[in-house]
């Protein structure tokens, strides 16, 4: 049985990525008609419809989604092979696609880019700044960084590379209006600013008696899906927030925020890298992770490297 034309596969994936035959064809240097004929050939070869077509939209069928995701894995393997050869020659090439949380990305990742790009002049970087969970495989990211708990996904490798100290804090105006807190039970009478989105919600954990941990929160009148928005809300006096040191250290030092219940031990937040479960890890990704771990070490107690990190 003759093999499928690999170019037809690439055209199909370009059409899916672009969302239309016109844009997908343009990306491959083809007309809309040529792109459509390539997809039809591929469907006939596979004996399955890959795309549902309407006058306005294209949608993957179940078979199309399976084929597309497998295609992404194959392309990633090709990228890895090229990167391995380039790595042996000492030159890293290609595109590094990252998904990072807003605040962590702005304060930690962006400062690293100058060093990374200078060390890897043949590398291009694409970054998505978002606090939502991204589907790394479907969206084509090489690496995602997440702060806090992550959902289990057998398609991904997850590594805790560091832990970050968190602090319970509020604005001086909030404390003046609502009063000082003396122990954890006082939280029940206060407005707490909670991180929450459709598919994730972070509970507050504190050290109890012995080595036990307890969960405690006050009134959840305001829930936000952005860590930076929570910080802004705390600065505005809207409630108490549990935030990482790297985000609020300057605010605490300047007096814009006050630490609440400073003797209360909070649960450190995990800094996690996630990447598709494929081997070997591309050298361009490994190099970036190494630089990031070094940066977290330079930050000292605010972010402590995990003993079992990469």
Residue ranges of the chain with per-residue pLDDT less than 50 = 1, 301, 305-310
Mean pLDDT (the chain) is: 82
Peptide bond into 280 cis (omega under 30): yes
What is the CATH number assigned to the segment(s) 90-156+271-305?
3.40.190.10
- For residue 183, give the 3-state DSSP assignment: coil
Return the residue matching tokens 């930050």: 299
Domain extents for the chain? Answer: 6-60, 90-156+271-305, 166-267
Q: What is the pLDDT of residue 205?
A: 79
The predicted pLDDT at position 306 comes to: 47
CATH of region 166-267: 3.40.190.290
Q: Which two tokens stand for residue 140?
A: 């084509």
pLDDT of residue 232: 95
Convert 36-72 to b/e letters by CB count within 10 Å (16 or more is b). bebbebbbeeeeeebbeeeeeebebeeebeebbeeeb
Q: What is the pLDDT of residue 308?
A: 44
User: For residue 131, which of 181, 187, 197 has the smallest C-alpha distance?
Assistant: 197
User: Which CATH code for domain 6-60?
Assistant: 1.10.10.10
Does 90-156+271-305 match 6-60 at the fold level? no
What's the pLDDT at 37? 93
Quote the pLDDT of residue 40: 93
Task: Read off the pTM.
Answer: 0.62
């Amino acid at each position: 049985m003759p093999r499928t034309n690999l170019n037809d596969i690439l055209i199909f994936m370009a059409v899916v990525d672009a969302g239309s035959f016109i844009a997908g064809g343009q990306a491959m240097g083809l007309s809309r008609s040529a792109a459509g004929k390539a997809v039809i050939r591929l469907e006939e070869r596979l004996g399955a419809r890959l795309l549902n077509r309407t006058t306005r939209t294209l949608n993957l069928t179940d078979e199309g989604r399976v084929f597309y995701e497998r295609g992404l894995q194959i392309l990633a393997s090709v990228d890895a092979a090229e990167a391995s050869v380039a790595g042996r020659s000492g030159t890293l090439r290609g595109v590094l696609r990252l998904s990072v949380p807003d605040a962590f990305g702005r304060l930690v990742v962006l400062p690293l880019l100058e060093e990374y790009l200078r060390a890897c002049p043949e590398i291009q970087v694409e970054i998505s700044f978002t606090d939502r969970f991204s589907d790394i495989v479907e969206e084509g990211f090489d690496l995602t960084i997440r702060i806090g708990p992550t959902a289990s996904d057998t398609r991904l490798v997850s590594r805790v590379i560091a832990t970050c100290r968190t602090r319970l804090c509020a604005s001086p105006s909030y404390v003046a209006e609502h009063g000082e807190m003396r122990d954890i039970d006082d939280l029940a009478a206060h407005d707490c600013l909670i991180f929450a989105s459709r598919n994730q919600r972070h509970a507050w954990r504190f050290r109890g008696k012995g080595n036990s941990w307890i969960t405690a929160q006050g009134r959840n009148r305001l829930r936000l899906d952005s860590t930076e928005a929570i910080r802004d809300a705390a600065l505005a006096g809207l409630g108490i927030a549990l935030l990482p040191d790297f985000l609020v250290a300057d605010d605490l030092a300047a007096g814009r925020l006050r630490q609440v219940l400073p003797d209360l031990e909070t649960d450190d937040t995990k800094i996690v890298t996630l990447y598709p479960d494929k081997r070997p890890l591309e050298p361009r990704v490994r190099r970036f992770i190494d630089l990031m771990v070094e940066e977290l070490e330079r930050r000292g107690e605010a972010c402590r490297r995990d003993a079992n990190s990469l």
